[in-house]
Structure 1
């Protein structure tokens, strides 16, 4: 049962489905010349309170790698957290599409870059023997389920500006971070110093729809060529753009994220209240990370609950909620965990009783 395995396991929300069906009627211009794609730029400009350039793509990996390719020379450095998706889960795509730029992973509590550590790590400008500092990439919400406050983004962006670096934000769960913080999209991005956003929709109600958003249009001058070269210029772009239009219309994206975040909070509180379970990180979006004893991992697997093998070996196990997660599903998981704990306790008591009886002296 992969119910809490990822927010990628869910389907698309009804409004997005209807939008694609509507776009399917009749004919339309190709390669982003359709009216859905044109309207998307205007709608995103409204959402972010300034004129932006928007480029729909099909995956978060493509969105991140192409955004970094637009900002980074082939001899550049990209500073990121060591747990960031671009560093751990994109199979070298950022390095490939940038033409060889070097990722510089940084440590930091709860999955976030520490500004002072970033400042100390930026070095080598003008030295022909080393890659040149070019970009800082942050993830919002982070891979640990935590979020950067706007003040933290401002501080990181100020350091980047001091060193003539650009700022990229991986926003695969951008809506979840916004829902947590209750700030405007503008305040969390360009007003805080972000140059380019990889905007995610797939995890929060779309079929397959991401976008690269430039807050400084001049930085997008050559992006069309990068997108085409990477195979991300979709001929029937209307089917991607229509998803995103429906997704950001009437705050649907924020409503979906709110459901995911609220059910994550219920799951987090429920797990924290159980014995032998420790929250690995604060729950600030729709991901709950916990450290579980081995017997509990085995017990959950016996009940056909999905446990990610890659998260084991002393690391936190991840449970992810989504826009369709219900309170009943959360309670069912908590009940299974409680049952595993009770079964283990009963088995332990039975073993202790048996050992005591076997070791008792004869009468």
Structure 2
């Protein structure tokens, strides 16, 4: 019963097979092979426009280098308090952008509140060398709270970015999960909403190690080849990233895997709601479930093999937990089975 993280899951068999197929023979290095270019072109088709694509190894690298591409001295990036860049990347965004800083913004359910964002950005309307200057806005889709920005919510944030002349970045570590939850197209959830740069995640959804930085305006990517090289993210054998992405994108496998993951989360949500030892902490729509649970019940579940993480309550829910309760984060993946979900519901 593995619900600690979707990073705990392995690689989908079709992706593993693709890696094996490309393990023999020769291919040009450093992203210059015909196969690398073919996969980059697939992203043009997916997003219905010409894009610039840069493969990297991790989501942290994708986010940090995406922001580095728009960095400037004294730069400030606006994000949600619980955004991965702010709470789980160990200072990498600040380090790799040359000591720029993050400005966390409030918002319920893991989403930036547009009104709070407008106030935060407007603090810098009067230029001051002492205070720094706005550099970018970044949203996480799906959020760290398991929720998903609606298209209208993305429009509201993009409108502020446009008014303030700031690039809008999307952390898409769970991009596929958000996409199938919204029933939108990749284009509809990104550049058609005003997103300029996307961190496209595959690792959490069945890849071994495959992330990409995507620029919806290729002219914005002029510095990225040098930034990626300087940051030690230019793989010599990039064919092994493109091999994963070939299988991932072929016949919409990536959407199939995310749909399964979200369905398992739905099954988990329904089962936990019916228990008297657990309750949902808030509504989620992607593949993360947050539940308040009796500590004794959790201890029994762990004794029977359940792998789950305790989680800190959000800043806006200080009174969420009772005396003998804990908050759990449970994450489903492409590898989660109905039997695992049902077993966990039975023992918790």
The TM-score with structure 1 as length reference comes to: 0.90
CA distance in 2, matches of 1:116, 1:265: 31
| Residue range with higher mean Cα deviation, 44-53 or 101-110 | 101-110
SS of match in other structure, 1:71: coil
The answer to whether the 8 A contact 2:301-2:344 is kept is no
CA distance in 1, matches of 2:288, 2:181: 12
- Measured against aligned partners, the alpha-carbon deviations of 1:270-306 in whole angstroms (never above 9, x if no partner) come to 1011114221221200111011122222222222322
| Residue range with higher mean Cα deviation, 311-320 or 101-110 | 311-320
| Residue range with higher mean Cα deviation, 327-336 or 45-54 | 327-336
Q: Which of the numbers 340, 343, 346 marks the counterpart of 1:329? A: 340
CA distance in 1, matches of 2:305, 2:41: 46
The answer to whether the 8 A contact 1:124-1:130 is kept is yes
SS of match in other structure, 1:212: strand
CA distance in 1, matches of 2:327, 2:217: 38
| Residue range with higher mean Cα deviation, 177-186 or 267-276 | 267-276
Q: For residue 317 of structure 2, what is the aligned residue in structure 1?
A: none
Q: For residue 222 of structure 1, what is the aligned residue in structure 2?
A: 223
CA distance in 2, matches of 1:74, 1:293: 49
The answer to whether the 8 A contact 1:146-1:281 is kept is no
Q: For residue 166 of structure 2, what is the aligned residue in structure 1?
A: 165
The CA deviation at 1:218 is 0.9
CA distance in 2, matches of 1:14, 1:327: 19
The answer to whether the 8 A contact 1:84-1:143 is kept is yes
Q: For residue 340 of structure 1, what is the aligned residue in structure 2?
A: none
CA distance in 1, matches of 2:51, 2:183: 22
Asked if 1:13 is matched to 2:24, the reply is no
Q: For residue 78 of structure 1, what is the aligned residue in structure 2?
A: 77
CA distance in 2, matches of 1:316, 1:161: 38
Structure with greater Cα Rg:
1
Asked if 1:124 is matched to 2:124, the reply is yes
The answer to whether the 8 A contact 1:145-1:281 is kept is no
CA distance in 1, matches of 2:111, 2:284: 14
SS of match in other structure, 2:6: coil
Asked if 1:156 is matched to 2:157, the reply is yes
The gaps in structure 1 that reach 5 residues or longer are 338-363
- Superposition RMSD in Å: 1.4
Q: For residue 232 of structure 1, what is the aligned residue in structure 2?
A: 233
CA distance in 2, matches of 1:284, 1:299: 27
In the TM superposition, what are the counterparts of 1:39-50 in structure 2 within 5 Å? 39-50=38-49
Larger RCO (alpha carbons 8 Å, 6+ apart): 2
SS of match in other structure, 2:8: coil
The CA deviation at 1:40 is 1.4
CA distance in 1, matches of 2:9, 2:73: 37
CA distance in 2, matches of 1:172, 1:316: 23
Asked if 1:104 is matched to 2:115, the reply is no
- What stretches of structure 1 move > 4 A for 4+ residues in a row? 309-315
SS of match in other structure, 2:69: helix
The CA deviation at 1:72 is 2.2
Aligned pairs, number = 336
In the TM superposition, what are the counterparts of 1:1-363 in structure 2 within 5 Å? 3-122=2-121, 123-125=123-125, 126-311=127-312, 314=321, 316-337=327-348
The answer to whether the 8 A contact 2:141-2:178 is kept is yes
The answer to whether the 8 A contact 1:40-1:54 is kept is no
The TM-score with structure 2 as length reference comes to: 0.94
| Residue range with higher mean Cα deviation, 277-286 or 202-211 | 277-286
- Measured against aligned partners, the alpha-carbon deviations of 1:306-347 in whole angstroms (never above 9, x if no partner) come to 23245489563111111121111110111111xxxxxxxxxx
CA distance in 1, matches of 2:87, 2:232: 23
SS of match in other structure, 1:33: coil
* Greater percentage in helix: 1
The gaps in structure 2 that reach 5 residues or longer are 314-319
